[in-house]
Amino acid sequence: MSLFLPDSVKCNGDTFKPLIPRKELEKRIEVLGSQISNDFQDKRPIFIGVLNGAFVFLADLLRSISINCEVDFLKLSSYGDEKVSSGKVTDKKQIDADIEGRHVILVEDIVDTGLSIKYLINKMYEKNPASVSVVTLLHKTDATIYDVKIDYTGFKIPTLFVLGYGLDYAQEGRNLAQIYVIDEKSTIKD
């Protein structure tokens, strides 16, 4: 398979450079997959992907899961088209599955302030699941202001805007096959 892995990419006028290369993503996701498979043996968890950003990560993570499981999706919107969070969470699509008594694993692309994931954890608990866990590919630890427990983290990253592997900038860049970060040198304007 030929993947889209440029050394530098322009998106909505800003320049981005690689931050987490494809191989690192693959290795880490394999580890997360086997940890989750071990922890949820015989529990038939349901993975709930947070659209749109998490669809690429969920697709790869799921193929590293070696136990019986289910998948569903929900959709939230918090960023709009900006590079900073709007501070508001809007429901755009609900899950179809009945999660009462089930082990739920929320799958996020990135935890930034923690607002979205906190909102989702609370929302899941209202439906009486057996448990709610969170796996996120990326966590901007210094930016997180809401008190949330993340069970599985791919990579802790600094508070910088990132792109690719499902993550977008005003809906562009999701097709990049690794994680890119804004190249501040090239984007400083005088």
Supply the residues annotated as catalytic. 112
Stretch binding ligand IMP (CB under 6 A), from 7-15, 62-70, 78-86, 125-133: 78-86
Least separation in angstroms between CB 41 and ligand IMP: 29
Is 18 an interacting residue with respect to ligand IMP (CB under 6 A)? no
Return phi, psi of residue 187, to 5°. -110, -5
Residues facing residue 49 across a β-bridge: 73, 107
From the list ligand IMP, Mg ion, none, pick the one residue 15 interacts with, judged by a Cβ distance below 5 to 8 Å according to partner type.
Answer: none
Q: Tell me the C-alpha distance between 130 and 113, whole Å.
A: 26
Is 165 an interacting residue with respect to ligand IMP (CB under 6 A)? no
Is 162 an interacting residue with respect to ligand IMP (CB under 6 A)? yes
Q: Which of 110, 121, 135, 150 binds ligand IMP (CB under 6 A)?
A: 110
Q: Which of 167, 176, 180, 183 binds ligand IMP (CB under 6 A)?
A: 167
Is 33 an interacting residue with respect to ligand IMP (CB under 6 A)? no
Distances (CA, A) of 159 to 97, 142, 156, 182: 34, 6, 10, 11
Which one-letter amino acid corresponds to residue 33? Answer: G
Q: Which of 57, 73, 79, 152 binds ligand IMP (CB under 6 A)?
A: 79
Q: Residue 99 corresponds to which tokens in the numbers above?
A: 């999660």
Is 37 an interacting residue with respect to ligand IMP (CB under 6 A)? no
- One DSSP character per residue, 79-125 reads STTSSS--S--EEEE---S--TT-EEEEEEEEESSSHHHHHHHHHHH
Question: Which residue's CB is nearer to ligand IMP, number 31 or number 145?
Answer: 145
Q: Which of 32, 61, 104, 111 binds ligand IMP (CB under 6 A)?
A: 111
**What's the per-residue H, E or C state across 44-65?**
CCEEEEEECCCHHHHHHHHCCC
Question: Which residue's CB is nearer to Mg ion, number 33 or number 53?
Answer: 53
Q: Which of 49, 52, 53 is nearest to 69 (CA)?
A: 49
Q: Tell me the C-alpha distance between 80 and 171, whole Å.
A: 9
Is 183 an interacting residue with respect to ligand IMP (CB under 6 A)? no
Least separation in angstroms between CB 151 and Mg ion: 17
Residue ranges binding ligand IMP (CB under 6 A): 53, 78-79, 85, 108-116, 161-163, 167
